[in-house]
Each structure stands twice: as C-alpha cells, then as structure tokens.
C-alpha cells in the first residue's frame, strides 16, 4: 500500500481514500457533544423582554441611568426626605450668601435656599415630563395603530393630519399657545399644550411598527381563528410593536422636561409661584457673572435628569434591537 494511501478502520471499500488523501478521526472529547447534551431543553424560551433584561443587567450604563432616574423621581415625590427647608421661605438678608450649615448650595438673589429649590424643582419638571409622555403615547399609539393596521383611505387621512402637526415646531407652538393662558398657567396647562403638538413622532413610529408586523404568521392565524380586528390589534399587533414606542417614549420624556424648562425660562411656562428648574435658571441670569453657582445647581439637576432618560433610551434600544448592539 502506498505511503499516502490510508484506509478507514473498518476497511470498507466506500471509505477507501485515494492517493494523497489522509483520513482523520477526531477524538470524542474534541467534538464537545457532552457540553451540548448538558444543556437543558425543557426550559421555556425567553421572551423578547426576557432577552432584553439579560442584556440590560450587564450594562453599567443601565444601572447608572436607573439610579439617576430613581433619584429624580424620589425628589419629585418625596422632597421632604432630602430637605426640611421651605423653598419659598426667602430672607433678603441672605441674598447671594455662600454655603452655610444646613444650606450647602447657598442662597439666590432673593435669599431663598438654592438646595431646597433644586430639590423641589424636580416635582414640576418631572411631573410635566411624565404626564406629557403618557398623553402623547396614548394619542400617538391610537392614531398610528389605526392608520397602520387599516390602511387605505383612513391611513391617508390620519397620516395627513399627523404631517400637519408634525410640521409645527413644538416649542414655538407652545410659546404661542401659552400666551393665551397668562392667567391660568398650571402644570396641567403645560401638559395639555405640549401634548397637542408632541404626539406626532410617536404616531409615525407606531404606524411603521404596526405595518411591519400586521402580516406576520401569528396575525394570519388569529384571523383564521375568527378573532376580531380590535382584538388582533390590541392583543397581537400592539404588544409586538411596543419596543420602538417604549424606546422613543423614554427619550421623549427628557425632551418634554426640557420643553417645560424652556417655557418657564422664557416666563410663559409655570408661574413664579411654582418652583421649577427653568424658572430658577431664568432668575439666576442676573447673577451669572458674579455668582455663577446660583445658576449651576438647577442647571446641572436639569441636565442630569434629561441625560438619564436619554441614556436609558439608548440602552433599552440596544437591548430590544440585537442588530444595534453590533453597530
């Protein structure tokens, strides 16, 4: 037998090799079948949110954003846990004084405690952001899901209505409308005004998400079983279209907080009687050159809160979209 002619161990004709070929048999340990067999196949497969949680829990950015969001929410709900000072109690004798015992941030031009106003300012800003986000998600989801699912003439009408509102700048429209409510500016007023012009983006995202899943096999199966259109839309399509909606809503929450601060900064948002970060930033302009720290504290609180929601939106997007993890 030639040197390069090898025969299989069973010497069968079918496995006889030609000249120049070698016959190799891998050891059982190298195949790794034991590791494959050790995996349990009885456990239920993870859902989309289960897979997302497995990814999120390993991201330090997720825990950082969660900590900042929880801190902002805690300040909004329970400000007395962080300070016992009344933010509206001002003594002109303390005007622009530096930090003292019990007043770590010092005093503003009116003699108000900056630390207390920074803590209590979270309530108005976070409340406006959360309520506005809830309203725009409801409006945008209803418009977008109906347009995307039914299509046709209804889709054309709703899409044109969405385009009209989408062409109107949010902050500019809010400025114009808020001028009509100079005597009745409350948190609810700001929420309503921002909601009227802020739902369009979520409507477009919802429409696209619904259109991408309405022809899936599970939707066809539900139709074959006789499920109504409303049931199919609410029980099958929307739950599987919720990922991009949640991601955008998380980022939009920070956007609406900035919008409220902008309106209050311009003096047409919340009234001066309501403690807000935007109002304090506006009042601190006069002291910017001599006492910049008066503006720094409410500004950094606003920036960190908005940043936390943006970071949360980014990590949630990466968790729900596996393709985004490799970009």
Q: How far apart are CA 327 and CA 322, in angstroms?
A: 10
Name the percent of the chain lying above pLDDT 70: 83
Q: What is the pLDDT of residues 5-16, one digit of tens each?
A: 444 454 444 555
Task: Tell me the DSSP string of 151-192.
Answer: -HHHHHHHHHHHHHHHTS-HHHHHHHHHGGGTT---HHHHHH
Q: Residue 118: pLDDT above 90?
A: yes
How much is the average pLDDT of 57-65? 89
Residue pair 115/104 in contact by the 8 Å Cβ criterion: yes
Whether 28 is in a domain gets the answer: no
Task: Report the CATH number at residue 134.
Answer: 1.10.3720.10
* Domain encompassing residue 56: 51-326
Residue pair 146/211 in contact by the 8 Å Cβ criterion: no
Q: Residue 197: pLDDT above 50?
A: yes
Q: Residue 158: pLDDT above 70?
A: yes
How much is the average pLDDT of 148-172? 90
Whether 31 is in a domain gets the answer: no
How much is the average pLDDT of 296-301? 92
Tally of domains in the chain = 1
Whether 41 is in a domain gets the answer: no
Q: What is the pLDDT of residue 39?
A: 54
Q: What is this structure's pTM?
A: 0.80
Q: What is the pLDDT of residue 5?
A: 45
Whether 12 is in a domain gets the answer: no
Q: What is the pLDDT of residue 26?
A: 58
Q: What is the pLDDT of residues 219-262, one digit of tens each?
A: 889 888 888 888 998 888 988 888 889 989 999 999 999 999 99
Q: Residue 325: pLDDT above 80?
A: no
Q: CA separation (Å) from 62 to 49, 72, 73, 306?
A: 15, 15, 16, 14
Alpha helices of the chain — where are they, by DSSP H?
28-31, 33-37, 48-56, 60-77, 114-150, 152-166, 170-178, 187-198, 200-213, 217-224, 229-232, 238-240, 242-265, 277-283, 293-320
Residue 44: which pLDDT band, with cuts at 50, 70 and 90?
Answer: low
How much is the average pLDDT of 262-281? 89
Q: How far apart are CA 124 and CA 119, in angstroms?
A: 10
Whether 26 is in a domain gets the answer: no
Q: What is the pLDDT of residue 36?
A: 54
For 107, the 3-state DSSP assignment is strand
For 113, the 3-state DSSP assignment is strand
Residue pair 52/320 in contact by the 8 Å Cβ criterion: yes
Residue pair 305/68 in contact by the 8 Å Cβ criterion: yes
Residue 305: which pLDDT band, with cuts at 50, 70 and 90?
Answer: very high
- Each as own residue / partner, the long-range contacts of residues 32-40 (CB below 8 Å, 24 or more positions apart, any chain) are none
Q: What is the pLDDT of residue 301?
A: 93
Phi, psi of 112, rounded to the nearest 5 degrees: -90, 150
Residues in CB range of 241: below 8 A, 6 or more apart: 145, 206, 209, 210, 212, 213
How much is the average pLDDT of 260-278? 89
Q: Residue 215: pLDDT above 80?
A: yes
Q: What is the pLDDT of residue 6?
A: 47
Whether 162 is in a domain gets the answer: yes
How much is the average pLDDT of 310-315? 90
Residues in CB range of 244: below 8 A, 6 or more apart: 205, 208, 209, 320
């Amino acid at each position: 037998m030639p040197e390069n002619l090898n025969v299989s161990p069973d010497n069968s004709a079918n496995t006889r090799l030609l000249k120049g070929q070698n016959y190799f048999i891998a050891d059982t340990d190298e195949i790794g079948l034991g590791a494959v067999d050790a995996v349990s196949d009885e456990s239920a497969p993870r859902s989309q949110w289960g897979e997302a949680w497995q990814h999120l829990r390993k991201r330090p950015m997720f825990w950082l954003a969660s900590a900042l969001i929880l801190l902002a929410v805690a300040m909004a709900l329970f400000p007395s846990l962080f300070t016992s000072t009344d933010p509206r109690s001002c003594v002109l004798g303390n005007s622009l004084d530096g930090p003292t015992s019990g007043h770590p941030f010092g005093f503003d031009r009116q003699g108000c405690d900056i630390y207390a106003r920074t803590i209590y300012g979270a309530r108005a800003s976070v409340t406006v952001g959360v309520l506005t986000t809830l309203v725009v998600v409801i409006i945008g989801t209803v418009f977008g899901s109906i347009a995307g699912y039914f299509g046709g003439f209804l889709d054309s009408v709703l899409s044109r209505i969405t385009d009209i509102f989408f062409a109107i700048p949010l902050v500019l429209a809010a400025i114009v409308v808020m001028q009509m409510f100079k005597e009745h500016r409350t948190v609810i007023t700001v929420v309503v005004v921002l909601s009227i012009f802020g739902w369009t983006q979520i409507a477009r995202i919802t429409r696209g998400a619904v259109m991408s899943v309405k022809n899936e096999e599970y939707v066809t199966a539900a139709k074959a079983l006789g499920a109504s259109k409303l049931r199919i839309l609410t029980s099958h399509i929307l739950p599987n279209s919720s990922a991009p909606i949640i991601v955008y809503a998380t980022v939009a929450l920070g956007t609406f907080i900035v919008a409220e601060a902008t309106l209050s900064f311009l003096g047409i948002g919340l009234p001066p009687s309501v403690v807000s970060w935007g109002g304090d930033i506006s009042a601190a302009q006069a002291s910017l050159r001599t006492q910049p720290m008066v503006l720094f504290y409410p500004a950094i609180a606003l920036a960190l809160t908005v940043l936390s929601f943006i970071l949360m939106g980014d990590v949630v997007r990466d968790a729900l979209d596996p393709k985004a993890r490799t970009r």
